[in-house]
Chain A
Amino acid sequence: MNATAKATRQQQPKLGRGVTPAKALGQLAALGVTGALTVVGEPGGVIFLRDGLVNGVESPAAPSVDRLLTACGKVEERVWETIPSRPARALVEGGHVSAAEIELCAIGALYDAAYFVLSTERAELRFAPDIEHWLGADCTVTADQLCDHVVRQRRILNEVHPSDVTDTAPVRPVLRPGLDRVLVSGLQWEIVLHADGNRTPQELAGLLGCSAYAVTLDVRRLAAAGLVEPPVATEPEEPPATPEPRVAASGSAAVPASVPAAAAASPPANGAERREILPRRVPGTFTFEDPPTGTRRHLPAGVSALAVLPGAIDKPPDDSLLKRIRTALQSLR
């Protein structure tokens, strides 16, 4: 056992720059190691291996098991605080969740975070041996299963809508889609309700306590249907104007606040820039140019589409409000 651990340590220096997280994971899995592969980057995360099998994945972009279980009220937050480290067993023994539930929840969170960790570009990798995932659940998947899954997740995203511009940008629902009828899924409804113009799909997932990949996917569906604005701050627009990278970064951060002014000042240039970054039109879907984008009202930063309704922001939506909205919508039928 000790001999293999030593051998593992000797073979570690392979994790240099230019090695993708997926490749490093494959190498570590082949060695049958136990430990944590830290992926430093945007969004980054940690992959936990146990004897060469993936036992847990964490990413700041995806809600963890604790968030999934507390957000739905399955386990109260004060219960979490009393539970010791490696809580999987304690939760089952305490009767809070069944053994099947904790496994399903853990594997769901694992696959969800894996998409973001393995999609991290230009990542810096580090491996720390003998560290195990904090949850202590039994579910494991092979590195190949995990990598195949991420490839499939990426392919499904691109099949839904071939543009990734909405994946990490703040979600801004279109105030007037100009459609006769809008059909949204339950998750899309929650996304639109909680989008305040600042929250990215991953932040919304954390707030709602649901899969970050599912939110990212449904935001792409909303974008394909013309219900979510493409982000206005266009990265390609910045570098030519300001060659120095640090200035460019601060410039792009300032853009969202001054969007209406910029749009008013140079509508033709902005329009041309927009057309360049727009994805090819998918037959049968709504295009962003129709009605012209300039005539649509933009959500001011920090304002939800339902800002007109008091209490809709920053609080979980209360039932009476939702019932009122539903009644109002039904009376429109």
Chain B
Amino acid sequence: MTIRGAIGASLIDYTTGQSLGLQGGRESVAPHADPTAAALGTASVIHAAMQTAAYAPAVPGDTVEDVIISTSAAYHLIRPVRTGFDSRLVLYVWLDRAEGNLAIARRRIRSLAEDLA
């Protein structure tokens, strides 16, 4: 894992909350004991951000770039992967707050998401 402070990461289909790939082992992939439940939670967070009227784009071409949730111990970064073909994927990265650097991690995740697409 090349993002400093990253504890776990996964690629999630946000229509169903299905995780398509995990990195970091079953126990550490998400802050929840059950990675399936964590993937579902991630799916509902991104769905809320993308479909809720409050975040509807104000200017043409405006889209949700990422969602960052910060807790006292960690950062959770969720970033839609925009593939050329039709897909509904997000990249989720769980970052240790003491070790990780949010700005650098965010840039790394952006290039990761662009590499996938």
A275-291 vs B: 1/0 string, CB under 8 Å? 00000000000000000
Binds B, one of A130-138, A210-218, A238-246, A262-270: A210-218
Contact of A152 among B16, B60, B85, B115 (CB under 8 A): B16
Say whether B56 faces chain A, with CB atoms less than 8 Å apart.
yes
Q: How far is the CB of B26 from chain A (nearest CB, A)?
A: 14
Which residue of chain A lies nearest to B43 when distances are taken between CB atoms in the complex? A156
**B107 sits at the interface (CB 8 A):** no
A interface majority secondary structure:
helix
> Is A104 engaged at the interface, CB distance under 8 Å to the other chain?
yes
Inter-chain contact B18/A68, CB cutoff 8 Å: no
Q: Which of A43-75 contact B (CB under 8 A)?
A: 68-69, 71-74
**A108 and B13 contacting across the interface, CB-CB below 8 Å:** yes
Count of B interface residues, CB-CB < 8 Å: 22
Quick check: A104 and B53 within 8 Å, CB to CB?
no
Contact A72 B85 (CB under 8 A): yes
A247 CB to nearest B CB, Å:
40
- B86 interface hit (Cβ, 8 Å): yes
Are B20 and A104 neighbours in the complex by a CB distance under 8 Å? yes
| Cβ–Cβ contact A214 & B116, under 8 A | no
Inter-chain contacts of A104 with B (CB < 8 A)? 20, 83, 87, 89, 116
Known: A104-B87, A108-B85, A152-B17. 20 other contacts (CB 8 A): A68-B86, A69-B85, A71-B85, A71-B86, A72-B84, A72-B86, A100-B115, A101-B116, A104-B20, A105-B83, A105-B87, A111-B18, A183-B51, A183-B53, A185-B51, A208-B86, A209-B86, A210-B86, A213-B15, A213-B16
